[in-house]
Each structure stands twice: as C-alpha cells, then as structure tokens.
Amino acid sequence: MFENLQDRLGTILNGLTGRGALSDADVAAAMREVRRALIEADVSLDVVRSFTDKVRAKAVGADVLKSIKPGQMVVKIVHDELVDMLGAEGVAIDLNAPAPVIIMMVGLQGSGKTTTSAKIAKRLTDRQGKKVLMASLDTRRPAAQEQLRQLGEQTKVSTLPIIAGQSPVEIARRAEQAGRLGGYDVVILDTAGRTHIDEPLMVEMADIKSAARPHEILLVADSLTGQDAVNLARNFDERVGITGLVLTRMDGDGRGGAALSMRAVTGKPIKLIGTGEKMDALEEFFPKRIADRILG
Ligand code: GDP
C-alpha cells in the first residue's frame, strides 16, 4: 500500500516547528507529496495542478510552523480544500417542475446508466411515493431495452412498452406523452451510450434534450475513470448541459479521484453514488467521505 499523505508530510515538515516560516523548498516538497497523493487517487492532472495551487496559497499563509505537527496541519488544509471543491452534500434530485418531471440519464456505455435509472426510480417510488415511468432510448442495443424492462419488473416500476423501429427521439416523445396521460410524477429516460465520446452520441443527446426538455440531466460515470474523467464531464456538460453527476462503482477499490475531477470541471453537484449492483445500492454523496478516501 501507499504510505499515506499524513506520514509523508510528517516526514517532510514535522521537524521544522518553531522556525517561523516555511521555506520555499519546504512548501515545494510538501506540494510534491500532495500532488503525488492526488495522482495516485486518479485525480486528473490539470485538476491536481489547480488544487495544489490553492493549497499552496493557504499553507503559506497559515501558521503551519506554529502548530505542533505541521504535517498534520497541511493535511487538514488539503482535506478542507478537497471537501470544499467536492461541493455540498445531500443535493437531491430536483423534482420541482410540472409533472411529469423528465430526468435524462447520460453517460458512456457500461457506466451504469441503466442500473442507476432503475435504482433512482425505485428510490423515488419507495421513499417519496412517486409514480415513476422508465423508458430505454437505446435503439442501438435491443438488449438494453429488455434489460430496463426486466429491472422495472424487479423493482415494480413501470416501463414504457417497447416498440421496435422507433428512433430515440420518438421514444422520448412517446415516454413524455405516456407520462402525462398516465398521471406519472417522473419519467426517467435511459439513453444509449458509446464506448467513448463521439459526435453522433453528442448529436443524439442534444436531439433528445430538445425533444424531451428534461428538468434534470444526470451524467452517470464510473468512479474508476482515471485521466479521462475531465474530458468526459467537460464534453457532456458543454454539449448537452448536465445538471448533476452520479458516480457508480464506489464500492470498488478506486480512490474516487474522478469525483473531484468531474466536479471541478463542471461545477455541477454530485447527487448520488452507486455502491453495488443491487437495486438499493445507491447512496447520498458525502464529500468528507470521498476526501478521506482520496487521501487514503
Ligand atoms: P450502462 O451500459 O451504462 O447502462 O451500464 P449498466 O447499467 O448496464 O451497468 C453495467 C454493469 O455495471 C452492470 O453489471 C451493473 O450491475 C454494474 N454496476 C452498475 N452500477 C454499479 C455500482 O455502483 N457498483 C457495482 N459494483 N456495479 C455496478
């Protein structure tokens, strides 16, 4: 295992108490360790850079050397800054719009979109008594539509009947109409992904957005995404305009750096995290927990 940041900074800084000010060399050495810890946690490089700049400014300004353990104090500055950058905890899905409220799920193939759609539908049904309709707009993989239908059956959430040959936009319109006529509170649109971002995917997402006018657009992303996290989040946000993030596979052994990267480039709240394959493995986001995890 990696030596944690506290130990590393302790080695560098704890012998320096009582000297008045940190030298440039001490600060540089400490920031190198901070940078190393974040890169090991899979935070994107440009986010690491802006983060260490902020921490450096605070560490130089703070009375680091007056504290008994300067290493610990820098760790606290790093931790606080991480929590701050990760954003608020417990930001709920916004249902404050005329029914049916449309939630559009976007993301790459395999990120956990379909699973998360069903988890969210179940959560809104069980906890908030909402009447939810789910629709799969994935016309590229017929198995995807069937997968959502089965998850609907399993969670006792309605799914839009599958009609072969319809385009994603046609399905989105039909879902909105079925939601309206059927007295549903929420309609969740599970869109198709790709293995990587490409132009047709972005055009398809934009077309669905114009047709369905979703109130929430949630980017579902695998928390194990490494350096691609920034590109992924930036592209979806610039081209489609997301309202929030859901990070899946937080039950894995990744350190969750993607959370910081995606939040940093989009400024959008992390609304929920996926913590397993089961339908109730969906939790609220607590920035402190992720900060602890990033620091190891
Ligand atoms: P999609 O292609 O984006 O719709 O992805 P799926 O919803 O089909 O998910 C792909 C795989 O990831 C499935 O086997 C899911 O059970 C699994 N999965 C989704 N979310 C999580 C999660 O939070 N934790 C774990 N361990 N597995 C997940």
Does ligand 1 lie within 6 Å of residue 140's CB atom?
A: no
- pLDDT, one tens digit per residue, over 132-189 is 999 999 998 889 999 999 999 999 999 999 999 999 999 999 999 999 999 999 999 9
Res. 2: pLDDT tops 60 = no
Res. 1: pLDDT tops 60 = no
Residue 45: predicted pLDDT: 92
ipTM higher than threshold 0.85: yes
Does ligand 1 lie within 6 Å of residue 52's CB atom?
A: no
- pLDDT, one tens digit per residue, over 208-264 is 999 999 999 999 999 998 888 999 999 999 999 999 999 999 998 888 899 999 999
**Is 169 exposed, middle or buried (CB count within 10 Å of its CB: 0-12, 13-18, 19+)?**
middle
Instruction: Map residue 65 onto helix, strand or coil.
Output: helix
Ligand 1 atom closest to Cα of 282? Answer: 23
Residue set of the binding site for GTP: 107-114, 190-194, 248-251
pTM for the model stands at 0.94
- pLDDT, one tens digit per residue, over 34-82 is 999 899 888 999 999 999 999 988 887 777 767 767 788 888 889 999 9
The helix (H) or strand (E) run that includes residue 220 is strand 216-222
Q: Which residue intervals of the chain are DSSP H helices?
A: 5-13, 24-40, 45-61, 70-86, 113-128, 142-155, 168-181, 199-212, 229-239, 257-266, 287-295
Does ligand 1 lie within 6 Å of residue 249's CB atom?
A: yes
Q: Please identify which residue in the block is written with the tokens 């039909």.
A: 174
Give 115 Cα–ligand 1 centroid separation in angstroms: 6
The residue whose C-alpha atom lies closest to atom 12 belonging to ligand 1 is 112
* DSSP 8-class letter at 221: E
Give 195 Cα–ligand 1 centroid separation in angstroms: 14
Does ligand 1 lie within 6 Å of residue 254's CB atom?
A: no
The values of phi and psi at residue 157, to 5°, are: -115, 135
Instruction: Map residue 114 onto helix, strand or coil.
Output: helix
Lowest mean pLDDT segment, chosen from 20-24, 68-72, 286-290: 20-24
Residue 63: predicted pLDDT: 73
Residue 177: predicted pLDDT: 98
State the Cα–Cα distance between residues 218 and 295, nearest whole angstrom.
27
Amino acid sitting at position 88: A
Res. 130: pLDDT tops 50 = yes
